[in-house]
Chains A and B, each alone.
Chain A
Amino acid sequence: MKVERYLQICTAAVAVIGSLLLGIGERAPELPLMMLMAALTSVIFTDILGWLRLPKIIANIFMIFIAVIAFSDFFNSTSQLQLYAVANLLVYVQIVILFQQKTARLYGHLAVFSLLQVVVASLLNVGVIFGALLFVYLVFAFLALSLFNVYRQISVMEKANHQSTLLSAQSATTNTQSSEWAFLMRDRPRGRTGIGLRSVGDQTIATGFFRYIIGIGMIVMVFTMVFFYCIPRTGNSAWHHPGLSSAGRTGMTREITLGQVGQILADDRLALRVSFTDEKINEPYEVAGDPYLSGTVLTRYVPKRGSANWLPTGLAVGSTALTLESVRNIPLGHDLVRQDITVEVVHNPKSVFGDPLLPAVYPIYAARNTPEQVRYDPFSRQLFLNVGPGKTIVDQYRYSVVTTAFSKQNQQTVTPVYAFDRRSQDTLRRKIRAALELPAEVQSLTEFTRDLLIQRRVDTSSSILIARDLENYLTSQELFTYSLSQFGIERDLTIDPVLDFVMNHRTGHCEYFASALALMLRSQGIPARIVIGYHGGEYNKIGEHFKFRNSDAHAWVEMFIPPETLPALDVVIESTGLAGAWVLLDPTPSRDEQLERTLYDEVVDSFEYAQLLWDNYVLTMDPQQQEEALRKLGINNIGAKDLGVSTRLLKSIGIDFDQGLLRSLAKPQSLLIFLLVISLLLGAGRWIKLIRWGGLLRFARPRNTRLRTQQASVMFYRRMEKFFTRRGQPRYASQTQREYAIELTQWLCESEQESDIVKIPNQVVDLFYAVRFGDSDVSPEQLLVVENCLSSLSHRVRKNPKRLT
């Protein structure tokens, strides 16, 4: 039977795809390979040829053996490995089942195990390829399920027909004297199908069956998407996909790790919005160029084996978070600009105090409306949101600070440092000392940098010139290449990654460039540190604000120059208490000037983008993103305000999701709402039909006895018509009911019926006319009389069939 053959193949395919999903999640390619071999072998040798079929007892022994091994792995492993143990158990069990002769029960087992495989795989997988394979799995699973249904029904029907035939044969009594007539005594008829059930099954799958199932798969995918985006979330996901972390994606981080192999994904999620306003005139302040928003400062360089970290300066002894000070003096020529920043707090890395970092253009001062929760640590130079104990971090946070960094719409690259007292001077000295530290692993940079400077004929007496030249050196695209990917780069893992970058491969992203510059400056005795923040962004003309995405996160360098060097910068700075300045240097080549992209880059970027979308809109879907996604679909009314309304509405009937999802769902009100929604959905079709066909009007009509009897009498006429039609006297379309009754009367007369029988057609038609056209009422007694007439007609005809010829 073709159905069975297709079922065997589809079942094997489902098992293989399930194992593939599992193998991708476990990063174990041997699992799907093993399953593929087993599937191919079982289909050919077990199902088609029938050469290799495990007896039940052998299969059970194998299962026990597998279960023992799996359980021992399970109890000796950590949580993730326990999942692997379960997954492996499912694979091996399926392999054993595949080599058995398939029955309906075994097909069912295979389906269940395959489903469990996918459940486990969905907990382990993070890749977009999983989503694509899941759709393929879905189609094959539907095919297998549908074929199984057809196969099973045919088997059941064949068995039932055979059983009926057996019973019929058994009912025949034998008589030795007249054995050829014994079949006459078989009182149970025997049925025989005109078309074999197996051929019916084969025809079923030949009539566009596969297209139909694929169509169902597509509809289910659409439903799944709607289901996924509509299901309520509280944001308290208890599962974190292994391997899913912010590492490997662009975005502001609390520290830098160098030397990782892999691809960094450009994350286009919104990080923050900032609008600049002239604080004096309270008008939008136009900023020329792309501003630099600082997040955190990294001073400590910690090399490791094959990698290295940039870490922020630790907390100073006795350091406490301070409120921002108001600006005292605005430097000459500078503007006081207010920054109104809305930041996605959830995604922000944490400060040294453990609170979310708040980026801004430095130097910063308190504005009139700077919230109290905004705190500043001058030692680590971090602005952060002081959440406080026991409080929930909100998704977005809006704050305002002012800065004096802008002069004539341009952000100044020099940030002066003032030290008015001994404490601040000591702090500055510590910072400078930290910014001069050069680990032993990168000492070779000193000589390299010196030689470089000599080669380039740089005046080494000026730190400014050194810095500028080194900056130019690193930004030179003939020498260095900007790339987020480390694939295909020959790395020397025995040396420091910054050294490797500078001396060998010269390919990297902003962190490498900034690290290189900072360390090279330090090697020449110039204090330097790395700053992580945002740079670039898009300017929204309508909203008059800059929009920064995670992909706009950037790393650059600040170097310290003593006050005596400042005049070389040709800047006007207040000299009272001036202790020096931090100068912004950005050695990263401009991304707009990248080398030409190949088709491979396009494909890789497309795949990365698909992976990013998968991560953003599926794996890490949270309530905020859900709301944003629905808003993008045009469901604009779902906003915080409306959510708040609906939340208040729910709270008014006692459902409060803040108390916990499960607790809320366990309430009777929730159940009632759920049932109401379900019944509305289920009855939607019926409601539509009723409304469409005016059914509601029918409901609105008074239900009365008169209506019922009218309908009943018409039904009597229909019954009579049907009765005579079966006896070879149908009413033709051109005949009226009266003509029909006359014809029936004549026919009954010819059939020698009693006179009371002969009168029935006319009686019924009289009643029919009276009700249908005469709009008269029919009494229940009349109905009863007609009913009796029809019964007697039916009874008499059956009793004496010979009369009616």
Chain B
Amino acid sequence: MQVKPRILITTQGWYYLFVVLFIVGGAIMREVNMLVILSGMLFGPLLLHWRLTISSLENLSFRRKFNNPTMAGVETRMEILLENHHRRWGSWFVQVHDRIRKVNQGSTADASEIQLAVPFVFASSVAKIPFTWDIAQRGIYEMGPLYIESRFPFGLVRARRTLRERESIIVCPQLGRLTPQWRRVIESDHHGLSGSFSRQGRSEGDYYAMRQWRSGDSTRWIHWRTTARLGELMVRQYEQQRDRAVGIVLDLSELTAEIQNADLNQQNHHAVVIEIAVSMVATIVNDLCSRNGSHFSLTIAGTTASHFSATPSQNVTRAVLESLAVVNPGNGEALRDSFQWLSHEGQQGMTVVIVSTRSKQQAITQLDQINNSATNVTQQDWSLQDALWIDCQNHLEVDRFFQPYETTNTTSAEQTPQQNDEQGDALKQPAHVEAEMSRATEEASH
């Protein structure tokens, strides 16, 4: 709910007022006509300024415009829309202040602020102030309060309007890049996994690229027009559609109490491990959902266990990412529930991948402690021994399948305010991520 402008005299305004009162007092008491003129010239601007600042903000409505959810590690573009409802008068140099802070399990972290400005909002028009938040960590962030302020023209009086309502934005985990090794895991039994897939029909599948002819290619694949243009045989490349059943388990466990109390570095390292695990699973799900036809089952063992079983689609991607955005590590016991669920819900012959923040042995040991029979969970669909266990504590193991996506943002600590300020849209972001975001946004809006 927007409130009427609050008016305050600034520090400079107080100094100015003091000088004005001094001169006005002297002029009136001593009746020096020239001083009376001067005091009128000083008093008038103060009154005029007061009215101008009020009218400047009174007719403005403002709100944020942003995509929700967004993704960590990439620029979250937002806009502040200022709409001037006045028919004739514009508003000069309106300043906007916004805040964002992470909300984590009910508590809030320190807020980051940004201050923006717009030179002029024309009458009966909308001014857009673009800006970006570079949010590194996933989670739910709360934005606000948002307020606009004007001190134009003289800076003696300040008017402010505040939008007290907070808005939330979900920041999904940052996506990375899956290595070709991962592809082999999904598409073959290279690691001895009991995977199953079936081809769909006799068609070569969907066309997706052009390449040079090589021995063994069917002549029906030759693209004659391109061949004539390039002067060498070029064939269409097809993707064979294969139904892949994948089961993903995300095991997020906290550090043991002893380690937590002992070493801050260990804590920090474990926090990074958790983020790696979440990011990897997010990337995997995103990848699976972009390849239509595969069914996947995802179970997250964090504070509690949560499960997804769906045919990949953009909506599913979004739902999973939003879930991953807020997932927190638990004590590790939820893994048992995840396994059980996967056993019930998983498809026959699915490939099971367990992304964990601990080693397999650690997990099994804990599960043993909980339930002796847990390690022997086998189902007709999968077994723990056949599943691919990725221990995110092991950097090399992670690197085999997953790479974080590099961003080109410079270290802003070394930059001057001017450089920071002028960078504007210099940040690059992964094209595919941007595409994902825009697709997700369009789906959400429809």
Contacts and interface: CB of A to CB of B under 8 A. Distances in A.
Interface in A190-241: 190-201, 203-204, 206-207, 209, 212-213, 216, 219-221, 223-225, 227-228, 231-239, 241
B186 to A, nearest CB: 24
B372 interface: no
B23 interface: yes
Contacts of A175: 265, 268-269, 272
Contact of A165 (B29, B36, B404, B413): B413
For A123, A164, A189, A685, the residue with the greatest tally of chain B CB atoms inside 10 Å of its CB is A189
Contacts of B407: 183
Contact of A219 (B48, B170, B406): B48
A119 B23 contact: yes
Contacts of B325: 801
Nearest to A104: B12
Contacts of A225: 40
Given A216-B45, A219-B44, A192 B420 contact: yes
A458 interface: no
Interface residues of A, number: 101
Contacts of B275: 181, 184-185
Interface string B311-352: 000011011101101100000000000000000000000000
A169 B325 CA distance: 22
Contacts of A432: none
A112 B39 CA distance: 14
B420 A165 contact: yes
B30 A237 contact: yes
B120 A196 contact: no
Interface in B86-131: 92-93, 95, 98, 100, 102, 109-120, 129-131
A362 interface: no
- In this complex, the member of B152, B273, B323 whose beta carbon has the largest number of chain A beta carbons within 10 angstroms is B152
Contact of A138 (B23, B41, B113): B41
Contacts of B134: 189-192
A619 interface: yes
Assign chain B's interface to a size class: 35 or more
Nearest to B411: A169
B413 A123 contact: no
B48 A193 contact: no
A223 B39 CA distance: 11
B109 A212 contact: no
A461 to B, nearest CB: 60
B72 A224 contact: no
A238 B36 CA distance: 13
B43 interface: yes
B137 A184 contact: yes
A138 B37 CA distance: 12
- DSSP class of A's interface residues: helix, strand, loop or mixed? helix
A212 B48 CA distance: 13
Given A207-B119, A224-B41, A187 B109 contact: yes
A721 to B, nearest CB: 14
Interface in B1-42: 12, 15, 19, 23, 27-42
Contacts of A578: none
B60 interface: no
A245 interface: no
B111 to A, nearest CB: 8
Contacts of B272: 175, 178, 181-182, 184-185
Contacts of B131: 191-194
A134 interface: yes
Interface stretch (B243-251, B375-383, B422-430): B422-430
Which 5 A-B residue pairs are closest in the complex by CB-CB distance? A194-B130, A191-B114, A149-B155, A224-B40, A227-B40
7 contacts: A191-B98, A191-B100, A192-B114, A193-B421, A212-B153, A219-B48, A228-B33
Interface of B: 12, 15, 19, 23, 27-45, 47-48, 51, 68, 72-73, 75, 77, 92-93, 95, 98, 100, 102, 109-120, 129-137, 140-141, 151-155, 167-168, 170, 174, 265, 268-269, 271-273, 275-276, 279, 306, 308, 315-316, 318-320, 322-323, 325-326, 395, 404, 406-407, 411-413, 415-418, 420-425, 427, 444-446
Given A177-B395, A193-B131, A239-B31, 18 more contacts: A134-B38, A150-B152, A152-B155, A153-B155, A157-B95, A172-B136, A178-B273, A184-B279, A185-B271, A192-B114, A207-B120, A216-B48, A220-B41, A223-B44, A228-B33, A618-B37, A685-B51, A805-B315
